[in-house]
Structure 1
Amino acid sequence: MTSRYIAIDWGSTNLRAWLYQGEQCLESRQSEAGVTRLNGKSPEAVLAEVTQNWRDSTTSVVMAGMVGSNVGWKVAPYLPVPAHFSSIGEQLTSVGDNIWIVPGLCVSRDDNHNVMRGEETQLLGARTLSPSSVYVMPGTHCKWVQADAEQIHDFRTVMTGELHHLLLNHSLIGAGLPPQEVSSEAFITGLDRGLHSSAVLPQLFETRASHVLGTLPREQVSEFLSGLLIGAEVASMSDFIAHEQAITIVAGSSLTSRYRQAFHAVGRKVSAISGDTAFQAGIRSIAHAVAN
């Protein structure tokens, strides 16, 4: 018998929920009640609101993301890598009757200290839908993951998305700028600079100087900065990827396009899969197993 189950992506600022019957999504809902925006409500109360009329005593709930962090509902311990993909769904943390949180992953070595939450669930889905040996997962904190068909071996994090936001909104680079516009030309110019110069720190101030002196349109600073940072990220992580390794980008369409351009500029072919599609496939595989 195929049971109903609920899959939830519960992050810092938002919550998304899907009601499934086997492989079929019956309904989806979303809320702005991320774990840092509960506004005095308990996680139990928020879950009850979001899943109203969805649950009975047999309906399992599987949640991933920051809900399992030290600012979430309950800490779901990190699994150290190397970790088998199968172990992610086998070491869930219970927070109620048939309510579970997916563990995160961690690396703790002298040369690398890293954690992830939520991306491990995307990896589960991506592994099935777009098998690779390297997964690049852009976002606020971009994850670069080494894996094979059975295990996650290593990963690193690059704070490209957060750095772009901070520089544009809370530094001299973005001070006094007009509304920003899309410009593929400015992005490609920044990308070329980032890919071909390891000295990205001096170039950050040059971004400011360029628009002050009029050589960079003030409406295109965001695009140039995006290209510069993504180019620098891909260049700096080149040693993480062997030449023969297959690469899959796991992201939304906009970020996928930007990273695809960066990889193509250095002669690397990549596959891509939607981050949402990967997440739902991953958490569905866990929830389906729990429900049955």
Structure 2
Amino acid sequence: MTSRYIAIDWGSTNLRAWYYQDGTCVDSRQTAAGITRLNGKSPQAVFDEVTHGWREDKTPVLMAGMVGSNAGWKTAPYLPCPAQFSDLSQQLMPVLDNVWIIPGMSVQREDNRNVMRGEETQLLGARTLSQSPLYVMPGTHCKWVQADERTVQDFRTVMTGELHHLLLNHSLVGAGLPEQQASLSAFRAGLERGVNDRDLLPRLFEVRAAHVLGNLPRDEVSEFLSGLLIGNEAAAMTRHYALSQQHPVTLVANPSLSQRYVSALALLGFQASVLDGDEAFQAGIRSIANAVAN
């Protein structure tokens, strides 16, 4: 691949693109035209718009995310885990001339069936920036990933972000609530409850009861619920992976979201290093671009 390339993170709801020359980002663009929000346009039409003026000489393009799903532009394969990091650059899915989609990853065992798209590119970048045996990738569907220097061994997904949204906006827990406010104290109260109580399902209705009875301010329900869910997730997953408190953990996310997980892990006695999700994604794309060039 040449010293110029385009990186695209094309998810369900948004698309972000970066134009690189000699390893430096010289331009970037974003649009709400995610794969589920094309508004009647074809994926190629959206692609042509977002890369306009960048591809006069057919600059290479690497894309990751839901663009490679069965609802996207072209279905890219899932690499079954354990999978080598190097496999990502060796099994790219061609779409157009000098345009490729990065494959996702999967786990298919009796005790664990999982898939990821987009996170594998962040994961590759995270591995180049900070090697760790366990990566936590918070988001709508949080990934907990076991890896070594060369291989993604296993991963699991926790739907914490989506569950928070559904409960707050489409269930009795959040019915009739006013606009929600930031509250560190409410988040920490939820976090303590989530970390120390394994019985999550009975606790969910108690969130509703607490604000109905006046024990929880009605504009702080979102923060308490966030703490409850993240705390329960962190406790459950650290138990699942049988982590000792000396076990290094690396978080890959935007700063505000990663801080919530730092707090949850700290309450459990773990220290976590943090990598910015965008930085990790771009490092992953750069690693693949370099591998293809060589």
TM-score, normalising length: structure 1: 0.98
Match of 1:254 in 2: 256
Given the alignment of the two structures, is residue 269 of structure 1 paired with residue 271 of structure 2, yes or no? yes
Whole-angstrom CA distance in 1 between matches of 2:108 and 2:204? 31
3-state secondary structure, aligned to 1:173: helix
Match of 2:280 in 1: 278
In terms of mean alpha carbon deviation, does 154-163 or 277-286 score higher? Answer: 277-286
Match of 1:140 in 2: 140
Contact 1:78 1:104 in 2 (8 A): yes
What is the CA-CA distance between 1:45 and the residue it aligns to?
1.1
Per-residue CA deviation, residues 124-146 of structure 1 (Å, 9 max, x unaligned), is: 11001121100000000000000
What is the CA-CA distance between 1:290 and the residue it aligns to?
3.2
Partner amino acid for 2:95? V
Per-residue CA deviation, residues 228-257 of structure 1 (Å, 9 max, x unaligned), is: 000110111122143143100001111111
Match of 1:107 in 2: 107
Match of 1:211 in 2: 211
Whole-angstrom CA distance in 2 between matches of 1:167 and 1:154? 29
Partner amino acid for 1:160? T
Given the alignment of the two structures, is residue 240 of structure 1 paired with residue 267 of structure 2, yes or no? no
What is the CA-CA distance between 1:291 and the residue it aligns to?
4.9
3-state secondary structure, aligned to 2:41: coil
What is the CA-CA distance between 1:43 and the residue it aligns to?
1.1
Whole-angstrom CA distance in 2 between matches of 1:249 and 1:156? 15
Contact 2:58 2:97 in 1 (8 A): no
What is the CA-CA distance between 1:80 and the residue it aligns to?
0.2
Contact 2:35 2:66 in 1 (8 A): yes
3-state secondary structure, aligned to 1:237: helix
Q: Which runs of 5+ in 2 are unaligned?
A: none
Given the alignment of the two structures, is residue 93 of structure 1 paired with residue 108 of structure 2, yes or no? no
What is the CA-CA distance between 1:57 and the residue it aligns to?
3.6
Contact 1:178 1:218 in 2 (8 A): yes
- Aligned residue pairs, count: 292
Whole-angstrom CA distance in 2 between matches of 1:289 and 1:73? 24
Whole-angstrom CA distance in 1 between matches of 2:145 and 2:124? 12
Match of 1:43 in 2: 43
What is the CA-CA distance between 1:287 and the residue it aligns to?
2.5
Partner amino acid for 2:175? A
Bigger relative contact order (CA 8 A; separation at least 6): 1
Contact 1:5 1:288 in 2 (8 A): no
What is the CA-CA distance between 1:285 and the residue it aligns to?
1.6
Whole-angstrom CA distance in 1 between matches of 2:57 and 2:20? 15
Match of 2:165 in 1: 165
Whole-angstrom CA distance in 1 between matches of 2:30 and 2:167? 30
Per-residue CA deviation, residues 67-122 of structure 1 (Å, 9 max, x unaligned), is: 00000001001000000111111100001101000000000000000000000000
Q: Which runs of 5+ in 1 are unaligned?
A: none
Partner amino acid for 2:282? Q
Partner amino acid for 2:280? A
**Percent of aligned pairs with the same residue?**
66
Match of 2:27 in 1: 27
3-state secondary structure, aligned to 1:113: strand
TM-score, normalising length: structure 2: 0.97
Match of 1:175 in 2: 175
3-state secondary structure, aligned to 1:257: helix
3-state secondary structure, aligned to 2:243: coil
What is the CA-CA distance between 1:205 and the residue it aligns to?
0.3
Contact 1:85 1:124 in 2 (8 A): yes
Whole-angstrom CA distance in 2 between matches of 1:132 and 1:289? 22
Partner amino acid for 2:104? G
Whole-angstrom CA distance in 1 between matches of 2:69 and 2:242? 29
